[in-house]
Structure 1
Amino acid sequence: MGHPSFHPKTLDSPNELPLIVEASEEVKQKPRKWYYYLWDTLDKPKEERWFMFKLDAALLTFASLGYFIKYLDQTNINSAFVSGMKEDLGLYKNQLNYMQTCWTVGYVIGELPSNMILTRFRPSRWIPCMEITWAVLTFCLARANNATTIYVLRFFIGLAESTFYPGMQYIIGSWYRKEELAKRSCIFHTSSALGTMFSGYLMAAVYKLGGRGGMAGWQWLFIIDGVISLPIAIAGFWFIPDVPEIAKPWYLTEEEVKFAQKRMQLEGRQQRKPYTKAKFKKIFTSWHIYALTPLYVFFNNGGVSAAPVFQQYLKASKDPKYTVSQINVYPTIQNGVQVVSTLAMAWISDGVLKGARWPMIVFGGCVNIMTEVSLAVWNIPTKWKWACLSLTGVAGGLSGLCMAWAHEICTHDNEERAIVIASMNEIAYVLQAWLPLIVWQQVDAPEYRKGFITVSCLSFMLIVTALTIRVLHARELAQRRDEDLSDENLVQSDRDESTERSVDVKV
């Protein structure tokens, strides 16, 4: 994430800060060199490269690992369900749907309050505490012996996990500039796909432990997930840098923190301010929250993640009949597609498209419509069905782009940015709390025709919303430029008038 050939140098003197900022802005104004499109720090001044190397190494690495364990502990219920838990606990109705819903309800309840807490308290304390909580609850799932116990545990796991994704998106948006943001947000998001992939591989491996210690293979999955999660959660106390205005991380010098604050000032990103009636009125009378929230709602529910479709398709297959290991491993193709497409779209958006987010969002929506309409037909060639199930991962990578766009649109109000980011994720999961009970019913598996049609419609609405936001944001930027130009003309007019008065006095 950094440049391997330069000599590390910190900002030792306060006098260096203006020089580094000026050099950074000069580089930004010049034509980009080819290696900028590989990684955006490569053409920055060496002091800024060193600063960003340390920030990426700490913040981005921890964010990715934390999201990895979040998805590992969120989706392990699907891997366990198709690997013996269903039969051992007699879950033959819609219990899996209810388990997903209990998690979603907890997640929805916690998101917005958590992000508001992050604007008042230190994220480096709040987030790791919640991570430790969900890791401990994951251990407890191994001893659950009925559906009711799992419902309760899943609710509290969702409540604890609600702090992480919107919280870390808020923190990432507090440190990076526009040309850096989509790549980092998408790298962060790809760890969710990696977590889902790893859960499948892990279940295939630990299934062989069935019988040891008096526990089945699916029970061992929860134990091992907790063992992986706990040390990563504890590491957060040292690696989350808070936000620049209160940051005192051990890996950044005092001058580097000041440099980070200056970078955000140049980006127009505001510092934290008190919540007031006027602020709430401003937030909830702006189009931002009412356009960005549906965008994320349509993205988040416009996929097949609400049900383990690929796994259930393989499990229902009679010719050929797949083993438990194959049922867990083959669907990870979908996650691999998500990782590759997510990173590709982020690099294209930041580099080739110069920060434009909407083209990649529209592209992802179009791919989703193509695959979901095909799956709704269902009686299609087997190779095309596998291709469609795999390509559903393409639209799963749009989260980082949606979040990056929200950071940029809400850059002038810190509290609005925190609330909008949380609302996007929260309302998306409000829909996810009940929609799967209607269109992704377990009794319809694996031919979820209602689900595939619903996803196609939501993907179409995603495209319409993205194009609408594009128009609204362009209009807002033009209005802001006109206001800035008017202010400059007014200031210049005042100066001219003052000069004329000075001349008259001399005469």
Structure 2
Amino acid sequence: MRYLKSFANLRIRSEGAIAHPRNLKCYFPHLRVLPEDIVEDNTDHNSSVIEEEYHEEGKNKISDVESTATEAQNSEVKSLKLQPGIPYEVRDEKGRKWWKYFDEFEYRANSEYKKSRNWYTFLYPNHTTHSKAERTLLYKLDILIGLYFLMLCWSKSLDSNNYTSAYVSGMKEDLKMEKNDYIYTSTISNVGAIVFQLPFMYLLPRFPAHIILPCMDLGWSWFTFACYRAKSLAELRGYRFILSAFGAAYYPVSQYILGSWYAPDEISSRVCLFFCGQLLGGVTSGLLQGRIYKSLNGVNGLAGWRWMFLIDAIAISIPCGLIGFFAIPGIPSKCYSLFLTDEEIRVARARNKRNQIKDGMSKSLMPKIWSWKLWKKVFLTPTFWVLVVFDTCSWNNMTAFSGSYSLWLKSNPNYSIVQVNNLSVLPACLGFAYVFFCAWGADLFRCKWIFMVFAAIMNCVSCAILIKWDVSSSAKWFAFLTTYFSVAPSPCLWSFINDFLRFDPQIRAVTWIAIYSFSQSTYAWIPALAWPTVESPRFRTGYTVSLIFGAIYGLWTFVVLYFYKRNERKHALGNGIILYNSENGESIPPFVDTHMQKKGDYYYVKEEKAE
């Protein structure tokens, strides 16, 4: 009866009928229960793939195919998870060309998947379910997730950039900040974010993100508000530390959610929206600070930089946090959304099945967080350390977020405070173009690595010019205006990580936060050494460090590509590709003849005859 009642409430909401006014629950997002979810056991939603697994215990009863080695009767039984209705490509690797190493999607998608979209529909492909509901789902997700995370990232970036804007707009003098106080305060703030990320290894796969994230955002908003009243440097540092602690969940939780809804050739464009919010914060912070300093400086006895924190908290951060309770839909297998229909949720689950994305699982099936089995899967996997190096280089080659450009402008006596704030937005404005170029190009051409390498080269050129320093004014402006190429490949990087970790939701949560915490921990102390404020405005050490990390980042992309291709070849069957190599004496696997039938150019699982 409990399930039927929940289902009845769901039908009222999803069919658009007017619910009873006293039933307030129907106006708030809670767990969506579909008819097929009403079962007696706690079967994981993602394991509801039509599959039949010939294990000795025979637990899955839907449609898996078993391949038995033909050499000996006692050979080990292989369990193959083949999905009915999905086209499979049989591919002979004989004579495979060396340059196929650079084909990122060689094993990630079969030829049918690649051909099932026109190039101009790369943002909204329809190549999984071939239904109108799939594109409608993508439209809704871009509003609910993409635009919301853009707005939320803008709010957080605005506050982070406000710290720099406030520093050059009077906060330095008011709080008597000297020497390296600027960078040390940033470091203390980063420590708060790193430490308080760790609990989300446990919380993220177990509790709904549409509750966790908005609550953390409201805490962030409150301490953003508190920054306006800081009377001393110590007080400001305390507020910034707690503020960052509340913001610790944002990056890993948002990427976890994005990776649960989007396909591998869609996600870079959506992470792009996320980073556009970050860039938008850089643009609007300088413009708002310049306008506020001019209009409100001294009003009611408050300095202009204090007004910026007030407006940021009350008018921007708090509304963003409240919207999150309704905008974040959870994950397809455990959806919390007022705006998605039952059919769209089914489509999302079908997309994840084809893309081998396991977005969630029952709590009872998860290993304990202190289980050695869990941590062994994380730390004893080469992929983890490959991604740690990759993300660490990404964090520490970001010249764009060093504040060096604003401090260079401030050092020029020809620019007023208002002009400094207005000019400070130029690199971030160009950064929009750089991020879109890399992220959309990656999804359009299904090739992330080439855009990552190109961005790394541009970043190295920018740093090299600034290391030289004694160059023409135009060369120096070119260098500063291209610093955001250090940020541009980040959507591609995070898309890579999501694709690596799509097979196990708990491993994904733990690994995401472990990678992010490790990388960010280096960002807590490396900038303090590389970008000491006393070296302003030249920062020779900082640009040298960024150049080194940028060069490693570009070269390491090929290492990541190697492990990615190796991983996808291992899971090629799940991607709709049946591999063999006739050059090595291999033939088409026997299960193709026994359990599949050819239709056109592709093979399909044989349909069972009704009894």
TM-score w.r.t. structure 2 length? 0.74
From 184, 188, 199, the equivalent of 1:102 is 188
Does residue 589 of structure 2 align to residue 489 of structure 1?
Answer: yes
Distance 1:361 1:272 in 2: 30
8 Å contact kept, 1:190–1:397 = no
SS in 2 for 1:397: coil
Residue 6 of structure 1 corresponds to: none
Does residue 133 of structure 2 align to residue 47 of structure 1?
Answer: yes
1:495 deviates by 7.5
8 Å contact kept, 2:124–2:135 = no
Residue 262 of structure 1 corresponds to: 350
**Pairing of 1:68-107 with structure 2 (within 5 A):** 68-107=154-193
1:243 deviates by 1.1
Structure 1 402/112 Cα, relative in aligned 2: closer, same or farther at 3 Å?
Answer: farther
1:11 deviates by 11
Cα RMSD after superposing both structures: 2.8
8 Å contact kept, 1:288–1:410 = no
Structure 1 259/493 Cα, relative in aligned 2: closer, same or farther at 3 Å?
Answer: closer
Distance 1:250 1:399 in 2: 31
> What do residues 25-58 of structure 1 show as CA deviations (whole Å, max 9, x unaligned)?
9984535324214x33478632212122112111
Greater CA drift, 28-37 or 275-284: 28-37
From 30, 41, 50, the equivalent of 2:115 is 30
Counterpart amino acid of residue 546 in structure 2: V
From 433, 442, 464, the equivalent of 1:349 is 442
8 Å contact kept, 2:214–2:321 = yes
SS in 1 for 2:484: coil
Counterpart amino acid of residue 398 in structure 1: P
Counterpart amino acid of residue 358 in structure 2: Q
Residue 128 of structure 1 corresponds to: 214
1:452 deviates by 0.4
From 498, 504, 510, the equivalent of 1:413 is 504
Residue 101 of structure 2 corresponds to: none
**Pairing of 1:7-406 with structure 2 (within 5 A):** 28=113, 30=115, 32-37=117-122, 39-41=123-125, 45-208=131-294, 209-227=296-314, 228-273=316-361, 274-275=366-367, 276-318=371-413, 321-352=414-445, 354=446, 356-406=447-497
Structure 1 54/477 Cα, relative in aligned 2: closer, same or farther at 3 Å?
Answer: closer
1:253 deviates by 1.6
> What do residues 203-242 of structure 1 show as CA deviations (whole Å, max 9, x unaligned)?
0011020111110000001001102110111100000011
1:432 deviates by 1.1
Distance 2:510 2:329 in 1: 20
Structure 1 340/424 Cα, relative in aligned 2: closer, same or farther at 3 Å?
Answer: farther
Residue 471 of structure 1 corresponds to: 562
Residue 501 of structure 1 corresponds to: none
SS in 2 for 1:111: coil
1:492 deviates by 6.0
Q: Which has the larger radius of gyration?
A: 2
1:255 deviates by 2.7
1:200 deviates by 0.7
1:79 deviates by 0.4
> What do residues 330-362 of structure 1 show as CA deviations (whole Å, max 9, x unaligned)?
12111112111111111111112x2x2211111
1:87 deviates by 1.1
Distance 1:203 1:307 in 2: 18
Residue 424 of structure 1 corresponds to: 515
8 Å contact kept, 1:40–1:179 = no
Distance 2:111 2:142 in 1: 23
Distance 2:497 2:139 in 1: 25
Greater CA drift, 407-416 or 432-441: 407-416
Give aligned pairs, total.
478
Distance 1:458 1:393 in 2: 15
Counterpart amino acid of residue 329 in structure 2: P
> What do residues 380-416 of structure 1 show as CA deviations (whole Å, max 9, x unaligned)?
1111101100100112122211110111122222222
Greater CA drift, 478-487 or 177-186: 478-487
1:488 deviates by 8.7
Counterpart amino acid of residue 335 in structure 2: A
From 451, 455, 460, the equivalent of 2:546 is 455
1:94 deviates by 1.2
Percentage identity across paired residues of the two chains: 26
Greater CA drift, 47-56 or 78-87: 47-56
8 Å contact kept, 2:334–2:360 = no
Distance 1:213 1:22 in 2: 67
8 Å contact kept, 1:115–1:167 = no
Does residue 529 of structure 2 align to residue 442 of structure 1?
Answer: no
8 Å contact kept, 2:124–2:138 = no
8 Å contact kept, 1:283–1:289 = yes
8 Å contact kept, 1:368–1:394 = yes
8 Å contact kept, 1:306–1:436 = no
8 Å contact kept, 1:403–1:421 = no
Distance 1:271 1:52 in 2: 17
SS in 1 for 2:199: helix
1:480 deviates by 3.8
Structure 1 485/384 Cα, relative in aligned 2: closer, same or farther at 3 Å?
Answer: closer
Structure 1 223/495 Cα, relative in aligned 2: closer, same or farther at 3 Å?
Answer: closer
1:476 deviates by 2.7
Structure 1 482/265 Cα, relative in aligned 2: closer, same or farther at 3 Å?
Answer: closer
8 Å contact kept, 1:292–1:406 = yes
| Structure 1 unmatched ranges of 5 or more | 1-9, 497-507
Counterpart amino acid of residue 169 in structure 1: Q
8 Å contact kept, 1:106–1:159 = yes
Structure 1 413/224 Cα, relative in aligned 2: closer, same or farther at 3 Å?
Answer: same
Distance 2:137 2:86 in 1: 15
Residue 502 of structure 1 corresponds to: none
| Structure 2 unmatched ranges of 5 or more | 1-13, 17-33, 37-48, 51-84, 88-109, 581-586, 597-611
Structure 1 241/441 Cα, relative in aligned 2: closer, same or farther at 3 Å?
Answer: same
Q: Give the helix-richer structure, 1 or 2.
A: 1
Q: Give the strand-richer structure, 1 or 2.
A: 2
SS in 1 for 2:487: helix
1:158 deviates by 0.9
> What do residues 467-503 of structure 1 show as CA deviations (whole Å, max 9, x unaligned)?
111112222333444897589936469889xxxxxxx
Distance 2:208 2:219 in 1: 18
SS in 1 for 2:280: helix
Structure 1 102/305 Cα, relative in aligned 2: closer, same or farther at 3 Å?
Answer: farther
